[in-house]
Chains A and B, each alone.
Chain A
Amino acid sequence: MSDYKSMTAAEIAKAVSSGQLSAVEITKEALELARTEGKELNAFVTLCEEKALKQASELDQIVKDDRAGGSPPLPLCGVPVAIKDNISYTGYKTTCGSHILEGYQPPYDATAVQNLIKAGAVIIGKTNMDEFAMGSSNETSYFGPVKNPVGDDLVPGGSSGGSAAAVAAGIVPIAFGSETGGSVRQPASFCGIQGLKPTYGGISRYGLVAFGSSLDQISPFARNSEDLALAYQAVSVYDPNDSTSLNYERPNYTKALDRDRKFRIGVPKEFFAEGLDAEVEKSIRDGIDRLRAEGHTIEELSLPLIDQSIAAYYTIACAEASSNLARYDGVKYGIREGGDKSLAEMYAETRSVGFGDEVKRRIMLGTFVLSSGYYDAYYQKASQVRELICREFESAFEKHDLLIGPTTPTAAFKFGEKIDDPLAMYLSDMFVASANLTGSPALSIPCGLTSDERPIGLQFVARRQGESELFQIAHAWERLA
């Protein structure tokens, strides 16, 4: 099965459901790659070997029992999938890349996990990540950084670096990360694959460990648009256990892929701001020209509030994080330090030892912006800015089907380059954060290489629930490239 690495999820699902390939064999192959190449990359925190093999053999049995082909094939039948280690899966620890959760095993499955299993996916492992999804380089993980398959010295991006690397390296055709502020699109861009940040509410958050609740979304990675659409379709299901889950009929995303639509594409000039690397800019501009040549309408526009999105994003995300992470207190699960001391000392010691610097920095920032006397000037103001950005996007989507720009201001940087400069690190999210604030779906797709062969990412943003348009333009782009 030497061609596993080059197979798409769609091909694997087809081959397994028709009995041409065994899910168990595919799973073993994926697990072997995870143990070897995955280990080199430090992409996985946990391999779910036992449950994966059991799931796979059940799938093989289902296929065998259904030789007559009576039931419709499972869309992800036998497809090995990796999930970020902040998504709850029973039987295995969920670490969130943190020391503080050591020993914690969730007693329930995330809704997205249940839907993946229903679709026939085989979860082979849980991927490494920035601690509590806070980071843009995967250097904040308690379990050490993930390496970018493109080059050993390059960061894979973050926070879903493990999932991105696993897909880019061919260990799995599909992996799930999570986005709060670009944590899938940015690593997709750095690793040269595709990543989709869905509409807020598209995928249930139930079981996804919260970072910034009003921003968080489970988000898929794949190497092509069809797989990305398949991955999203499987988990984009209304969930009554998540009050923010959207209850609407999802279209068939893969069926719509081939529709040859000409889009009205807006180019916000704020996506070409100061700090944008010249090589990246040239590549993106070339890409836009090719789309124009294909018959899409390209128009420049200005969305001035995009410049405020990083400030608003970090204020809101940190505020919510400071509250969401309060539960890691040494009382119920995870580590406990200073257990023989006073309650206040136990809290302080547990959290001092358990959290890394970046998490502490954001908890403190978030605590500050919510504090009495500062709330109005920071959290409240940021919420107002967010509301205004939403309106700006809404009016932009009256005239345009899609917005386009670079995913990140630079291609993948080197380990150590920004880790001691939080502000520089935060600015690598400057083009992605606005879609998280507005809840818009956005997709990153490879768009050429720098002169030293680092991947460049092109980003499309659509109106809420406009995933179909994103898959269609991604599909059209693949044919161009």
Chain B
Amino acid sequence: MVSPAQTKEIAYEPVIGLEVHAQLQTESKIFCGCRVSYGEEPNSLTCPVCLGLPGALPILNKQAVEYAMRMILAVGGQVNGHSVFARKNYFYPDLPKGYQISQFDKPIGTGGAIQYRVDKGEPQCCRLIRIHLEEDAGKSIHPESGESRTRVDLNRCGTALIEIVSEPDLLSPQEAYAYLVKLKQILQYLEVCTGDMEKGHLRCDANVSVRPVGQKELGTRTELKNMNSFKGVERALTFEIERQTALLRAGGEIEQTSLMWDEKKQVAEPMRSKEESHDYRYFPEPDLLDLTITSEWIESVRAELPELPEEKAERFLSDYRIREYDAGVLTDSRELADFFEQVVALFDDPRTAANWIQTEYLKTLNELKLSVAEFPVRAVQVAGLLKLVSSGKISGKMAKTVFAEMVSRAMSDQQRDFSPEGVVRDLGLEQVSDESALALIVDKIISENESQVQAYRNGKEKLFGFFVGQVMKETKGQANPEVINRLLKERLGN
């Protein structure tokens, strides 16, 4: 028996497992032909099947199966040749059949792992237990003040989901966060899910327990629900780990239960016991045949898997000889990586391109809160701008001004010419590099400032800047500084 005084000294460590639901971006729902779309008139995207009308039957969407297969293969899991759909039975108004078609003891995928890093630390690995296919429920729209009835919108009902269940391999809220970031990145690379947690396209429940450091067996776990951002998951876990640790230190016991995270109050509160005491009575779905996946099918999906972030970053290192850190940033999303490659295809200096994209380009995207796809300035314009700099037509400093003008034109009126060449021309910013033209100006400055020339030749070398300034004034700052330096040195040289 350990006395409370002693328990206080014990250090505890958390153990976390995550269950992530990812909405698949299939064109139609998983068991009917209804279109998948958001923000439409409530209940407009429905049919007898997804409304759960008497007599309607499900038909499995092949695209949903392939999307699930992509994810399983991408994380190194096993696509099971034989899997079974099962009914998960429970009553809720947004579940029109009174059961959800899911998978239970024979999921489509088993095993696999997600590699993640916390900040810039060493790569870590979280094993996956399973990935299975299921249908989403509808949405209950609970009354605002003044209304007494809950309304039900079944547009979402029947949308394809995969549930990705991890082993309890995550040992801190930060690891859970990093795991989610990586998971989202993979889903996005595979183009199977937008990964948008705020919009509910990705949902995460967390199982968490704590145990004395060094102890092998797991403590009693609780389940956290209702987090709607990755940071929310991290905060909820931190809260719950502290609660469990404090409770154990005070000699208490953890009750196995489900807790709802309240983002406003920043606390996790137990659900009413009625809501969680479900016996789902799973049994094989008799309306669907067992799902048989041939090895040929698996191989054809595998053959079409896109390059994943790590592979892409490796290739960027060897193909473009950019820095490792830059390769990491540029492969953060598939669209950014593609953008970089489009720029490099037109502008043959990957390091400069990498720098530029990470600074000016991403800064502007962040400010405007736009994605690469949404941003009207494309790779061809960015490459064009970089070419103007490298050929000496404009200076690097001017390029920032030009880019700002390009963005402002593109954002306000795309009819207007927002090409870098057009902007440079319109603003009259073209750098003068023509030697004969500059030589005339340099000669003119020298002949007009004889006393300064004399002083310079007598050793007052600081005056060199004065001559540069004069030439710049004469050329309105558009003279190529390198050329001026050379010409001035030639002529002033003693």
Interface residues of A (CB under 8 A from B): 86-88, 94, 96, 101, 104, 106-108, 110, 205-210, 212-214, 240-244, 319-320, 322-323, 325-327, 329, 331-333, 343-344, 347, 367, 370-372, 375, 379
Q: Tell whether, in the assembled complex, residue B59 and residue A241 are in contact, meaning their CB atoms are under 8 Å apart.
A: yes
Q: Within 8 Å CB of A206, what residues of B? A: 55-57
Q: Within 8 Å CB of A104, what residues of B? A: 54
Given the interface pairs A106-B53, A107-B53, the reply to whether A326 lies near B91 with Cβ below 8 Å is yes
Q: Tell whether, in the assembled complex, residue A329 and residue B98 are in contact, meaning their CB atoms are under 8 Å apart.
A: yes
Q: Tell whether, in the assembled complex, residue B87 and residue A323 are in contact, meaning their CB atoms are under 8 Å apart.
A: yes
Q: Which 5 A-B pairs have the closest CB atoms?
A: A326-B98, A214-B286, A370-B281, A213-B286, A209-B54
Given the interface pairs A370-B283, A371-B279, the reply to whether A108 lies near B54 with Cβ below 8 Å is no
Q: Tell whether, in the assembled complex, residue A332 and residue B54 are in contact, meaning their CB atoms are under 8 Å apart.
A: no
A319 to B285, CA, bound (A): 11
Interface residues of B (CB under 8 A from A): 48, 51-60, 87, 89, 91, 93, 96-99, 152, 274, 279, 281-283, 286-289
Q: Tell whether, in the assembled complex, residue A94 and residue B54 are in contact, meaning their CB atoms are under 8 Å apart.
A: yes
In-complex Cβ contact of A106 among B55, B152, B279, B282 (8 A) = B55
A166 to B348, CA, bound (A): 85
In-complex Cβ contact of B96 among A322, A332, A375 (8 A) = A332
Given the interface pairs A326-B89, A326-B98, A327-B98, the reply to whether A107 lies near B48 with Cβ below 8 Å is yes
Q: Within 8 Å CB of A214, what residues of B? A: 286
Say how far B21's CB is from chain A's closest CB, in angstroms. Answer: 22
Say how far B148's CB is from chain A's closest CB, in angstroms. Answer: 9
Say how far B30's CB is from chain A's closest CB, in angstroms. Answer: 13
Say how far B150's CB is from chain A's closest CB, in angstroms. Answer: 8
Q: Tell whether, in the assembled complex, residue A372 and residue B279 are in contact, meaning their CB atoms are under 8 Å apart.
A: yes
Q: Within 8 Å CB of B274, what residues of A? A: 344
Interface centre among A210, A213, A214, A331 (most CB of B within 10 A): A331
Q: Within 8 Å CB of B287, what residues of A? A: 210, 213, 243-244
Ordered by A's residue number, 6 sampled pairs between the chains whose C-beta atoms are within 8 Å are: A107-B53, A241-B59, A244-B289, A320-B286, A329-B98, A331-B93
Q: Tell whether, in the assembled complex, residue B289 and residue A319 are in contact, meaning their CB atoms are under 8 Å apart.
A: no
Q: Tell whether, in the assembled complex, residue A110 and residue B57 are in contact, meaning their CB atoms are under 8 Å apart.
A: no
In-complex Cβ contact of B55 among A209, A323, A344, A371 (8 A) = A209
A212 to B52, CA, bound (A): 16
Q: Within 8 Å CB of A209, what residues of B? A: 54-55
Q: Tell whether, in the assembled complex, residue A331 and residue B96 are in contact, meaning their CB atoms are under 8 Å apart.
A: yes
Q: Tell whether, in the assembled complex, residue B55 and residue A210 are in contact, meaning their CB atoms are under 8 Å apart.
A: yes
Say how far A461's CB is from chain B's closest CB, in angstroms. Answer: 22
Would you call the interface of chain A mostly helix, strand, loop, or mixed? loop
Say how far B352's CB is from chain A's closest CB, in angstroms. Answer: 56
Given the interface pairs A206-B55, A241-B59, the reply to whether A323 lies near B283 with Cβ below 8 Å is yes
Q: Tell whether, in the assembled complex, residue B54 and residue A106 are in contact, meaning their CB atoms are under 8 Å apart.
A: yes
Say how far A192's CB is from chain B's closest CB, in angstroms. Answer: 30
Say how far B168's CB is from chain A's closest CB, in angstroms. Answer: 22
Given the interface pairs A107-B48, A108-B48, A243-B288, the reply to whether A323 lies near B89 with Cβ below 8 Å is yes
Q: Tell whether, in the assembled complex, residue B60 and residue A326 are in contact, meaning their CB atoms are under 8 Å apart.
A: no
Q: Tell whether, in the assembled complex, residue A208 and residue B98 are in contact, meaning their CB atoms are under 8 Å apart.
A: no
Q: Tell whether, in the assembled complex, residue B48 and residue A370 are in contact, meaning their CB atoms are under 8 Å apart.
A: no
Would you call the interface of chain B mostly helix, strand, loop, or mixed? loop
Q: Within 8 Å CB of A379, what residues of B? A: 283
Q: Within 8 Å CB of B93, what residues of A? A: 329, 331, 343
Say how far B220's CB is from chain A's closest CB, in angstroms. Answer: 20
A86 to B55, CA, bound (A): 8
Q: What residue in chain B is nearest A334 (Cβ atoms)?
A: B54
A214 to B96, CA, bound (A): 21
Given the interface pairs A326-B91, A327-B97, the reply to whether A243 lies near B57 with Cβ below 8 Å is yes
In-complex Cβ contact of A323 among B56, B96, B99, B288 (8 A) = B99
A333 to B93, CA, bound (A): 12
A168 to B195, CA, bound (A): 62
Q: Within 8 Å CB of B98, what residues of A? A: 323, 325-327, 329
A87 to B55, CA, bound (A): 8
Q: Tell whether, in the assembled complex, residue B52 and residue A327 are in contact, meaning their CB atoms are under 8 Å apart.
A: yes
A51 to B53, CA, bound (A): 23
Q: What residue in chain B is nearest A331 (Cβ atoms)?
A: B93
Q: Tell whether, in the assembled complex, residue B54 and residue A243 are in contact, meaning their CB atoms are under 8 Å apart.
A: no
A101-B54, A213-B287, A244-B289 known; 9 other A-B pairs, CB under 8 Å? Answer: A106-B53, A206-B56, A209-B55, A242-B57, A323-B87, A326-B97, A327-B54, A331-B152, A332-B52
Interface centre among A209, A347, A370 (most CB of B within 10 A): A370
Q: Within 8 Å CB of A325, what residues of B? A: 98
Q: Tell whether, in the assembled complex, residue A371 and residue B57 are in contact, meaning their CB atoms are under 8 Å apart.
A: no
A240 to B51, CA, bound (A): 19
Q: Tell whether, in the assembled complex, residue A88 and residue B55 are in contact, meaning their CB atoms are under 8 Å apart.
A: yes
Q: Within 8 Å CB of A372, what residues of B? A: 279, 281
Q: Within 8 Å CB of B54, what residues of A? A: 88, 94, 96, 101, 104, 106, 209-210, 327
A212 to B286, CA, bound (A): 9
A81 to B181, CA, bound (A): 61
Q: What residue in chain B is nearest A332 (Cβ atoms)?
A: B96
Say how far B5's CB is from chain A's closest CB, in angstroms. Answer: 42
Q: Tell whether, in the assembled complex, residue B91 and residue A347 are in contact, meaning their CB atoms are under 8 Å apart.
A: yes
A118 to B80, CA, bound (A): 42
Q: Within 8 Å CB of A108, what residues of B? A: 48, 53, 56
Q: Tell whether, in the assembled complex, residue B99 and residue A243 are in contact, meaning their CB atoms are under 8 Å apart.
A: no
Q: Tell whether, in the assembled complex, residue A110 and residue B99 are in contact, meaning their CB atoms are under 8 Å apart.
A: no
A333 to B286, CA, bound (A): 24
Q: Within 8 Å CB of A106, what residues of B? A: 48, 53-55
Q: Within 8 Å CB of A96, what residues of B? A: 54
A210 to B281, CA, bound (A): 18
A242 to B282, CA, bound (A): 22
Say how far B51's CB is from chain A's closest CB, in angstroms. Answer: 7
Q: Tell whether, in the assembled complex, residue A207 and residue B286 are in contact, meaning their CB atoms are under 8 Å apart.
A: no
In-complex Cβ contact of A370 among B53, B57, B89, B289 (8 A) = B89
Q: Tell whether, in the assembled complex, residue A326 and residue B99 are in contact, meaning their CB atoms are under 8 Å apart.
A: yes
Q: What residue in chain B is nearest A205 (Cβ atoms)?
A: B57
Say how far A203's CB is from chain B's closest CB, in angstroms. Answer: 13
Say how far B36's CB is from chain A's closest CB, in angstroms. Answer: 19
Q: Within 8 Å CB of B288, what residues of A? A: 243
Say how far A259's CB is from chain B's closest CB, in angstroms. Answer: 34
Q: Within 8 Å CB of A242, what residues of B? A: 57
Q: What residue in chain B is nearest A339 (Cβ atoms)?
A: B149
Q: Within 8 Å CB of A322, what residues of B? A: 89, 281
A128 to B93, CA, bound (A): 30
A206 to B59, CA, bound (A): 11
Say how far B428's CB is from chain A's closest CB, in angstroms. Answer: 67
Q: What residue in chain A is nearest B89 (Cβ atoms)?
A: A323
A331 to B152, CA, bound (A): 9
A367 to B274, CA, bound (A): 18
Q: Tell whether, in the assembled complex, residue B286 and residue A208 are in contact, meaning their CB atoms are under 8 Å apart.
A: no
In-complex Cβ contact of B60 among A207, A243, A323, A347 (8 A) = A243
A205 to B54, CA, bound (A): 11
Q: Within 8 Å CB of B99, what residues of A? A: 323, 326
Q: Within 8 Å CB of B58, what residues of A? A: 243
Q: Within 8 Å CB of A320, what residues of B? A: 283, 286
Q: Within 8 Å CB of B282, what residues of A? A: 370
Say how far B296's CB is from chain A's closest CB, in angstroms. Answer: 21
Q: Within 8 Å CB of B52, what residues of A? A: 327, 332
Q: Within 8 Å CB of A244, what residues of B? A: 286-287, 289
Q: Tell whether, in the assembled complex, residue A110 and residue B91 are in contact, meaning their CB atoms are under 8 Å apart.
A: no
Q: Tell whether, in the assembled complex, residue B281 and residue A208 are in contact, meaning their CB atoms are under 8 Å apart.
A: no
Say how far A343's CB is from chain B's closest CB, in angstroms. Answer: 7
Q: What residue in chain B is nearest A110 (Cβ atoms)?
A: B55
Q: Within 8 Å CB of B289, what residues of A? A: 243-244
Q: Within 8 Å CB of A208, what residues of B? A: 55
Say how far B104's CB is from chain A's closest CB, in angstroms. Answer: 11
A108 to B60, CA, bound (A): 20
Q: What residue in chain A is nearest B60 (Cβ atoms)?
A: A243
A64 to B281, CA, bound (A): 58
Q: Within 8 Å CB of A94, what residues of B? A: 54-55
A331 to B89, CA, bound (A): 16
Q: Within 8 Å CB of B89, what residues of A? A: 322-323, 326, 370
